[in-house]
Structure 1
Amino acid sequence: MSPVPVPARRAVRRFTAPALLAAAALAVLTACGTPSDIAAGSAPSSGAADAGQLRVNLSPNQNRVRATKIDAIANAVPAAIREKGEFVVGVNPDGTPPLEFLATDDRTLIGSEPDIAQLVADVLGLKLRLENTSWENLFLSVRSGKYHLGFSNITVTEDRKDLYDFATYRVDQLAWEVRKDSKVTKISGPADIAGLNVSVGSGTNQEKILLSWDEENKKAGRKPVNISYFESSDYQLALRSGRTDAHFGPNPTVAYHVAVAGETRIAGTYSGGGASIDGRIAAMTVKGSGLVDPVAAALNAVIKDGKYAEVLQRWGLSNEAVPEALVNPPGLPREKT
């Protein structure tokens, strides 16, 4: 077996969950409908987060959107998995609402990623078993076969496609976060960040984009960007205190923090693939396992019947929907060596 490369961090850096769970949630949900566990116009109760007109269920009792088994798709699952009847899915939930995080019991895995994984398991006629793991171990465990699938906001890249197969289910969208009173009104290109103090997560896709924008500014004779690196929600304090002018991070978690804190706003969004390609988030399985095609078929089935849209709506991610699940589409370009 060839050596396993250390996977670069995805387009997500982690927030501390407990503080977020105690606060208000996703303002973007106010434009959505009301799934069964989100009550319209009522005050938040224990285990729920107020989102203006809606409440988001943060309790362990999720009442998830469910799908039904489709025999033609389920029969395509590798026999060893079908016979065991269990679908083992790894997630990395160290505080990334609304994607994947722990419920108020600090044990139950909730969020859009577990919900979509549940839909896939339902269509395949398998019992879902979610595994809480580190980001690095997620890749190793999928590669070794310990986990059948990684469902953890994983971006498709050409490097990763050497070892893994992917079935896409969401666009990879990044966002620029600034204080509400910031003089920065819009960020859509390199010139808009010239001379600013910007925070970003180290080793992420957004860091690569930020560095390329900084190089473009320097070549154009503009002021360089002062870049600060944060591993967690510490960036929020730097932004609030004025030590940084903007933060560049994944759109779902930025949108969540904007709603929770009530002190910041989104100044612009950008594709996680940069200017060269549309970034895609995908379910990941070991290459050649025979699982990627039925997983993609399951995703397309719930896209078609509306269950997928219900899940995204539930977590305020409707603007990241895809019309079709694709198998191994073009990914982010290979790392230069």
Structure 2
Amino acid sequence: MKTRHTIHTAAAGLAVLLALSACGGAATGSQATDIPKTQNTRDISEGVQPDEAAVALLPESYKAKGELTVAMDLSSPPMTFLAEDNATPIGVNPDLARLVAKKLGLKLKFENTAFDTIIPGIDGGRYDFTATTMSATEERLKVLDMINYLKGGSAVAVAKGNPLNLANDALCGKNIGVTKGSSQQLKHLPNVSKWTCEEKGNQAINAITLPNVQEALTQLDSKRIDGVFYDASALAWAKEQQPGHFTVLEPRMDTRTDTNVAMGLKKGSPLTPALQKAIQSVLETPEYKESLDYWGLGESAITEAKIRQ
């Protein structure tokens, strides 16, 4: 879903949004609390029982070790980041990784590492798997087994209340902000412009390339651009942290691509069958939907932990 540069810009751009979260609402569901989300370090997997079928598929070496190591780039709220204690991984990906480990009856060890070092680390045996909002690209599938666990995707943010009456298929001639190096800039916006505008004889969408999402949202707020095309999860988080500033169009933009993201482990790993079974078990738990709802991503739920080919 992202290039490495996108992750850096998301982290930089959302730094202000993260700081604003102390004014945010309380958690909901069994994570209910009167503290801000960025301070909530509760383990969502508390009380979740192992899945016997998944445990039965575990290789003996993992049973003996009793622990899984997961690699994450903890820099991209609300998916994967550190709590205000600067020690506890929080967000959708840490929640789901904890649930997967619990379904396998194993402890979980987090390794915070740069995104572009994750695959080499898995290949070199330093990490057992990753849950870091990774798209199953052709290149990655050559070296990883990848299992769907979440729906990704892109969305468009517009001025509060959508005064220009914009829609996903009605952006022709509009100034739409994208972040430098993102999949939206490099691939999705040119394609959407072609399909919805240029092939119909209309003016192309005017892409305004900006350094990060915070700058893009600032320009939207000041009416210097008409919209922002970015990762749906980040826009949902930003909307929660900056209420009343902008509207996110629904549904998400159709980019005519498989938007599911996948957990990854070494190609041909003996852990793959057990991990797939555990992920499928997690998708069927109330905690899965609870986590997505809590982080503002209820639309991202899927029902099948499919191994990507």
User: Shorter-chain TM-score: which interval?
Assistant: 0.7 to 0.9
Partner of 1:223: 203
Contact 2:152 2:259 in 1 (8 A): yes
Q: 1:259 aligns with which of 233, 240, 246?
A: 240
> Compared with structure 1, are the counterparts of its residues 135 and 230 closer, same or farther at alpha carbon in structure 2 (3 Å cutoff)?
farther
TM-score normalized by the length of structure 1: 0.79
Query: Is 1:20–2:14 an aligned residue pair?
Result: no
Query: Is 1:79–2:60 an aligned residue pair?
Result: yes
SS across alignment from 1:146: coil
Partner of 1:270: 252
Deviation at 1:166, TM superposition (A): 1.0
SS across alignment from 1:23: helix
Contact 2:73 2:112 in 1 (8 A): yes
Deviation at 1:184, TM superposition (A): 3.0
Deviation at 1:155, TM superposition (A): 1.6
Structure-to-structure mapping, 1:129-208, within 5 angstroms: 129-180=109-160, 182-189=162-169, 192-207=170-185, 208=187
Distance 1:237 1:111 in 2: 24
SS across alignment from 1:74: helix
Structure-to-structure mapping, 1:1-337, within 5 angstroms: 8-9=3-4, 14-16=10-12, 17-24=14-21, 34-39=28-33, 45=35, 48=36, 57-59=37-39, 61-66=41-46, 67-94=48-75, 96-180=76-160, 182-189=162-169, 192-207=170-185, 208-216=187-195, 217-232=197-212, 233-262=214-243, 263-270=245-252, 274-275=255-256, 277-328=257-308
> Compared with structure 1, are the counterparts of its residues 60 and 261 closer, same or farther at alpha carbon in structure 2 (3 Å cutoff)?
closer
Deviation at 1:24, TM superposition (A): 4.3
Contact 2:149 2:283 in 1 (8 A): no
Distance 2:59 2:208 in 1: 46
Q: How many residues align?
A: 301
Deviation at 1:113, TM superposition (A): 0.5
Contact 2:78 2:92 in 1 (8 A): yes
Deviation at 1:292, TM superposition (A): 2.3
Deviation at 1:111, TM superposition (A): 0.5
Deviation at 1:231, TM superposition (A): 4.1
Instruction: Output the amino acid matched with 2:93.
Output: E
SS across alignment from 1:268: coil
TM-score normalized by the length of structure 2: 0.86
Distance 1:318 1:182 in 2: 22
Question: How well do the aligned residues superpose, as a CA RMSD in angstroms?
Answer: 2.7
> Compared with structure 1, are the counterparts of its residues 242 and 140 closer, same or farther at alpha carbon in structure 2 (3 Å cutoff)?
farther
Distance 2:292 2:192 in 1: 31
Instruction: Output the amino acid matched with 2:28.
Output: T
Contact 2:156 2:168 in 1 (8 A): no
Deviations along 1:224-279, whole A, 9 cap, x unmatched? 3322233432222222222221111121210111121120111234357x22x442
> Compared with structure 1, are the counterparts of its residues 105 and 156 closer, same or farther at alpha carbon in structure 2 (3 Å cutoff)?
same
Deviations along 1:13-37, whole A, 9 cap, x unmatched? 514454323324899x99xx93233
Deviation at 1:203, TM superposition (A): 3.8
Question: Per residue, is there more helix in 1 or in 2?
Answer: 2
Deviation at 1:219, TM superposition (A): 4.0
Distance 1:167 1:137 in 2: 19
> Compared with structure 1, are the counterparts of its residues 105 and 18 closer, same or farther at alpha carbon in structure 2 (3 Å cutoff)?
farther
Deviation at 1:85, TM superposition (A): 1.9
Contact 2:179 2:211 in 1 (8 A): yes
Distance 2:201 2:269 in 1: 50
Instruction: Output the amino acid matched with 2:17.
Output: L
SS across alignment from 2:31: coil
Instruction: Output the amino acid matched with 1:21.
Output: L
Distance 2:155 2:22 in 1: 17
Segments of structure 1 that go 5 or more residues without pairing to the other structure are: 1-6, 49-56, 330-337
SS across alignment from 2:264: strand
